Homo-oligomer: A and B are copies of this chain.
Amino acid sequence: MRIELITIGDELLLGQIINTNVAYIGGKLGKVGLRLAAQMSLPDEEAELERFLREALERSDVVITTGGLGPTVDDATKAVFCSIFGKKLSLKGEILDDLKRRYGENLSEAVRSQAVVPEETEIIENKAGTAPGFIFTGEDGMAVALPGPPRELRPMFEEIVLPRLGRLAASGGFFLEKTLRTVAIREADVDRRMRQVIPDVEGVQYGLMARPYQVDIRLSCVTEGKERAEALISEAERRVRDEFGESIFGEADQKLEAVVGQMLRQSGLSISLAESCTGGLISSRLTDISGSSDYLRGTMVVYSNQWKQELLGVPEEVLMQHGAVSEQTARLMAENVRGKGRSDIGLAITGIAGPTGGTSEKPVGLVYIAFSDGEETFSKKFSFVGDREMVKFRSSQAALEMIRRYLLARKKGAD
């Protein structure tokens, strides 16, 4: 089954946004044994769009488009599809009613226009926005039109489009993949170790995705039949897990903050944070997880020495003698935020995010992270490379990893 993807929008060609829909849709198709044969990005121009869309439909069984369904002047997709599939546009009462329920009785013309849809066409409901999607079927195959914003497109693709395509493709070679995420190991080291691990499982390939302070290992295979593919991937996964053990923190799209959040919840422990160089990033990541108020008491972003002294109680002498970026300061920050925050755990971070503020003794990227549970306090020194945002992000990864390792060790001790 040949599938092509057309992403629509001037902004994609002008370099205003990076197109993440291609990798997303390509990756999701892979999970059901399918893949993209080609992808193109086109401007919001009706004539151009119609020409490429007709050609793609001739070549392929399925063409998916994203974007161009909004209510603004440069959105042309609906008209082009109607021209190709010989449909008329008309106002659909149910969609209008639903829009009124969600956005009130007095809809703007723009929002109201979203209820004008091709007749006799399958509609895909958009729960996260105003533009519905469409599935057209004709002699030349099937076309699926989805809105462009990822948060609107993703649920529509996963709930409606993907299962439909999966059923369509049920015959043919089966493609299977599985991703395991590691933290705190270098890409080169993961690669070296994977070369030893993987040759034993014939037919399975691996690919690495290096992210900040994290490397994802992607195992994949194409074989006849789902069962054989599952057996191969599961054997490869077992070997990778044997090799990397606790360095693997999750699978596929799982985020480190979600894993740490879940572990904190299970442990029943509460936590407070004191952040300096990360400026609130660790706290913001932990609070991206729903229910985090059950374990996170609060965070002090002590961005000035005055806050470190007056609000967190780090003595002036310590700051004078060792500096704000020092092991001593980090440890006191962790102990004090734990006490003031009345929580089981205190975690603190101080460092130099750059690009200015570094010295030969304390260069940009120097970071201390300290952890206190009331019985003991320990700390670790890091040297991170990268620009300001990268140093902040790597630091937040290392801090989350420190919490994860503590909770793993504690759980083992309890077992």
Contacts and interface: CB of A to CB of B under 8 A. Distances in A.
Copies per complex of this chain: 2
A323 to B, nearest CB: 14
Nearest to A26: B15
Interface in A266-290: 273, 275, 278-284, 286-288, 290
A23 interface: yes
A186 B130 CA distance: 13
**Is the contact region of chain A dominated by helix, strand, or loop, or is it mixed?**
mixed
A287 B299 contact: no
A207 interface: yes
A35 interface: yes
Given A38-B52, A209-B17, A304 B293 contact: yes
A81 B151 CA distance: 39
A296 B288 contact: no
Contact of A110 (B191, B206, B307, B341): B191
A14 interface: yes
A286 to B, nearest CB: 7
Given A16-B218, A22-B41, 6 more contacts: A10-B218, A281-B284, A287-B301, A288-B388, A298-B301, A311-B341
13 contacts: A10-B207, A11-B207, A12-B23, A13-B22, A13-B37, A38-B40, A39-B40, A40-B41, A72-B207, A110-B188, A283-B303, A290-B388, A310-B342
